[in-house]
Amino acid sequence: MSVRVRFAPSPTGLLHIGGARTAMYCYLIAKAQGGQFVLRIEDTDLERSKKEYEEKMIDDLKWLGIVYDEGPEKGGKFGPYRQSERLDLYKDLAWKLVKEGKAYPCFLTKEELDALTEKAIAEKNAPHTYHGQYRDLAPEEAQKRIDAGDEFVIRFKNHQKTYTFNDLVRGEVTFGPDMVGDFVILRSTGMPVYNFCCVIDDWKMEMTHVIRAEEHLPNTLRQLMIYEALGAEPPIFCHVSLLIGHDRQKLSKRHGATSVTQYRDQHYLPQALNNYLCLLGWSHPEERDIFQLEDIIPVFDLNRFNKSAALYDIQKLNFFNQQHLKLKSGPELVTHILEVLPKDHPFRAFDSAKQEKVALFFVEKVQLVTEFEQQLDVLFKAQLESNEEVAEVESWETTGLIRDYIKSQVEVLMADGVQNASSDTFNEWLGYIKKEMKIKGKPLFKGLRVVLTTQAEGPDLKEIIPLTPMAILKDRLGI
RNA sequence: GCUCCUAUCGUCUAGCCCGGUCUAGGACACCGCCUUUUCACGGCGGUAACAGGGGUUCGAAUCCCCUUGGGAGUACCA
């Protein structure tokens, strides 16, 4: 039987990086075993679910390169893939369980429920679970109240058993009999509840593996009970460790940028995000750390998940982004740079060969594409910010001499209509100053640098100068 | 409170299942050196960890128990 794995987000917000990580693991597991990866939208919470979020999530998944074989819009033979379009299925099965005596209508009001919870809290050592007062109400009696229009929910009849299952990452997990009471499967609004829909869909969609974050671990108990009541075979569960923030709490909005959209907006590379996220809780069999998603599909090993929570560290993400940036080809880099540069940036005026040259040269110096703009200033901005060192170099007598010489040379070049100095001309300048003017060492290089770039440090001069437009040089020299 | 999960450098982790090869390996960050007459890149090196206590064993990071710490869940959210 083919492996089938699903990612089932609820569209109540933007795609969270934790969600992206789970989706990626699902995708990887499915693909590693030649199976299918399915996207299912869990939108039974009508209050909070929004169509825009669903669209945005799908778009972000696409951006990450996590492609699903079946899902909303795309279709597939197990559809529909939106829970809001499968409501009749859940309701029918809920009532089927009622008929079989495995669930029952409950008429407890909200106030009565609250009172019970308070009482449980007051009695220390007691689990805050509810054991149904209506579970033994005669079916005819219940029907009478329903017909009379009394508000009700359907609760699952829990038999207080111990459940054990084998989790792919946790190993054997056991839940004691007092963990939950008779929980709701159908709300008073007639809407089914997450744990119920989830089981039905995973069953009907023939999922072989359920991969999700550890926060869902306690839900597994309820789900196991539902599988049993339905007479369905549970899938293999795999509860992946949680992503946490610097306070060691579950990663959430207050930890800063936590949605894929935010990283996308900041022009992070999807490959970098995938790569970093993948290594948070999973390790490469050969301990490789920089890779593309496609490359690890053949080696993706389900036994290499780490059990403990992983701290999300943006500094390391930045490192991965830098590494993946350096993996890009010249033309790819130029495209990325062009995306983030202002419309009127002079870099755009360069021909593509020169653009590539510049891109490949400066990529060493940045972690994010957005940092290129500032790096490019050394080429395109006449006057850069001064500092103490610049002032000191300026004060040297030799620096003035160098300036006068360079000025005269640039004037000659300009008279010839030259657009940019070549690396040869730069070498000539260097040779002349050294031999004829007898300036060498620090005064030579620092002096030249300050004269040519108005800065005391920066990229290799002999690379930079041929790329600097003559107009900028002219400006810097005060011609 | 109750239930479940979890514990190796500051962080991500390898090693644990199948005890000796672990004076615990790699990566990020940090520091130093080399390279570059600068910066960055790169190369080399350094600081830095088996939570604590009991067992079992000739031998434990690895197996067992307890303690402590951390986390999650505890909904008519997902």
Q: Which nucleotide is nearest, taking the CA of residue A127 and each C1'?
A: B2
Separation CA A207–CA A192 (nearest Å):
20
Whole-angstrom CA distances from A177 to A97, A116, A126, A167, A182 are 21, 20, 13, 19, 12
> Distance from residue A189 (CA) to nucleotide B71 (C1'), in Å?
34
Q: Which nucleotide is nearest, taking the CA of residue A289 and each C1'?
A: B27
pLDDT above 70 for A126: no
pLDDT above 90 for A307: yes
Task: Answer whether the bond into residue A285 is a cis peptide, omega within 30°.
Answer: no
> Distance from residue A316 (CA) to nucleotide B35 (C1'), in Å?
26
Separation CA A370–CA A372 (nearest Å):
5
For A415-451, how does the pLDDT look when each residue is reduced to its tens digit (9 = 90+)? 777 777 888 888 889 989 988 889 888 899 999 999 9
Q: Are A350 and A358 in contact (CB under 8 A)?
A: yes
Mean pLDDT rounded to a whole number for chain A: 91
- Predicted structure pTM score: 0.93
Q: Are A399 and A451 in contact (CB under 8 A)?
A: yes
**What pairing do the DSSP bridges indicate for beta strands A163-167 and A153-156?**
unpaired
For A200-251, how does the pLDDT look when each residue is reduced to its tens digit (9 = 90+)? 999 999 999 999 999 999 999 999 999 999 999 999 999 999 999 999 999 9
> Nucleotides on strand B with an atom closer than 7 A to protein CB?
1-8, 10-15, 25-29, 36-41, 70-78
What pLDDT is attached to residue A368? 96
Q: Are A442 and A448 in contact (CB under 8 A)?
A: no
Q: Which nucleotide is nearest, taking the CA of residue A178 and each C1'?
A: B3
Whole-angstrom CA distances from A50 to A27, A54, A57, A164 are 24, 7, 11, 36
Separation CA A257–CA A389 (nearest Å):
37
Q: Are A238 and A281 in contact (CB under 8 A)?
A: no
Q: Which residues contact A239 (CB under 8 A, 6 or more apart)?
A: A167, A168, A169, A170, A212, A213, A214, A216, A217, A220
